[in-house]
Each structure stands twice: as structure tokens, then as C-alpha cells.
Amino acid sequence: MEPVVHKASASERRLDVSGTAGSVWGIIVAAGTGERLGLDRPKAFAPLGGRPLLAESIDRLDRCPWVDALVIVSAAGWEEPAILLAEEIVATKVVSCVTGGTTRAESVRAGLQEVVDDALVILVHDAARPLVSNAVVERVLGPLGEGYDGVVPVVPVQDTLKRVAGAAVVETVSRTDLVAAQTPQAFLAPALRRGLAGDLTDATDCASLVERTGGRIAAVDGDPWLMKVTTKADLALLEAILAGEG
């Protein structure tokens, strides 16, 4: 299917990273089917606080002063609803909406095609994490000016971790130096392009691909509110949090 491309004016705001003025592009990946959520539509269009889940990330990143332009990656057949949603929100930074791939990494790769060649920094964000804040965006941008190629927001692992073989516990894994990675993840554009150029097998996030191609990745504080919607229970929890915020 031909990607649906919607052009709007990107913000003129520029962020100064490592002394060079350049633009910060965001890719919102929203092309997953949401199998574990089990609705009749992609997870990005699950209702949350009276609007589709995807609306939250578009709205928050569009209003984020650190972000200049946004690309949305949608499931096949859902490009038009995503564009209409961006228009409804009166998002001013959404430059295009493209069709995703069969894996998250392929969807990121599709979004990357829409990012201009001279973009300096690219943020990749899961639509499934609706509560993205300006503070976390600011935190992930910081280390890019200090010699890092990529930055992931992380939170401590709370549960005790076990390695199992079938029903049997084989080992209790020390969680001392283990953290859970969230999004948005920030990258110097050339490093992300390099990471996404090769084999995408087994990539669960973009940072792992950039690591594989020799990139230096920093970890910064994530945000406990930035949890991912995976199941119906997650959606119900976020619904309650949003109602409390409003």
C-alpha cells in the first residue's frame, strides 16, 4: 500500500546539541496490532480518556518545546485516521504519517524514511506509552551533547527476577544492575540510521540496534508514569491516572 503522506509546517524551533544548531525529529511508532490488548483495532486506537491512545503522545510531543517535527507510523489502513487525529488535536509539527512494518524495528525504519537528511537528533517513542513528559524528553536529549550516540530512559526493576525452564525455577537473577528501558529514546540521527541499516532480527528497542553497530548509549532516569499499555489492566490503570490528572 502507498504510504499516506500529509504535509504540514514543521516548527522553526531549533535545539542546540553539542554546539550545533539542528532539528529534533520525533518518530511515534503506532503500527502494532495490540494482540495482547485484544481489541478490534490497533492498540494505538484503543480508547483512553475519551480519545484514541495515540492522541496522548501526539498531543504531548507536539506541545513539547524540544521537538521540531513529528512522523507517525501507523498500521496499514490506519494512516488516514492517524492524520485526522493529528488534525483534530491541531498538531502543528506532524509532517507525515506512514505505514509501519511487521516488527517494531521495521516500523521505525519506515518512519526514518520521512526524516529529513539534516535532522540532528531523532527521538523514537512508543504510542503505547501515553504519558510522555517534557521533562523526560529533556533528560534523554542531555547526554547527546556529551559524546553519547543514544540515550534511553530507564526505571529500576521492582520485581524479583527468576529464570525458568517450563514450570521450574532455574535461577534467581540479581537485579542489582538491571533496569527496564522505556521510550522516548533519543539518538544522533546518523547513529540511528546506522543502527537501522543492518539486520533487525531480535531487536526489542532501537538502542540495542545502535549498540550493535558500535554506538555509545547512556541511561537517564525514566519516569514511573511512562508505563506501556500492553494489557487491558494497563489501559484501565492509565484511564484512572488520566482521570485523576484532569
79 binds ligand CTP (CB under 6 A): no
43 binds ligand CTP (CB under 6 A): yes
Q: Which of 32, 150, 184, 195 binds ligand CTP (CB under 6 A)?
A: 32
Total site size for Mg ion, rule CB under 5 A: 1
Distance in angstroms (rounded) separating the CA atoms of residues 210 and 100: 20
CB of 17 to ligand CTP, least distance (A): 25
Alpha-carbon dihedral angle through residues 183, 187, 191, 192, given to the nearest 10 degrees:
40
CB of 87 to ligand CTP, least distance (A): 20
Contacts to ligand CTP from residues 58-77, by CB under 6 A: 73
From 7-15, 124-132, 141-149, 185-193, give the range in contact with ligand CTP by CB under 6 A.
Answer: 124-132
CB proximity list for 156: less than 8 A, separation 6 or greater: 175, 179, 180
C-alpha cell at 228: 506501556
Name the residue with the smallest CB distance to Mg ion. 32
From 19-27, 33-41, 79-87, 147-155, give the range in contact with ligand CTP by CB under 6 A.
Answer: 33-41
What is the full DSSP assignment across 123-179? Answer: EEEETT-----HHHHHHHHGGGGGT-SEEEEEEE--SPEEEEETTEEEEEEP-TT-E
Positive or negative: CA dihedral 170, 176, 178, 182: positive
CB proximity list for 1: less than 8 A, separation 6 or greater: 76, 77, 99
96 binds ligand CTP (CB under 6 A): no
Q: Which is nearer to ligand CTP, 60 or 228 (CB)?
A: 228
Binding site for Mg ion (CB under 5 A): 32
Binding site for ligand CTP (CB under 6 A): 29-36, 43-44, 73, 100-104, 107, 126-128, 228, 230
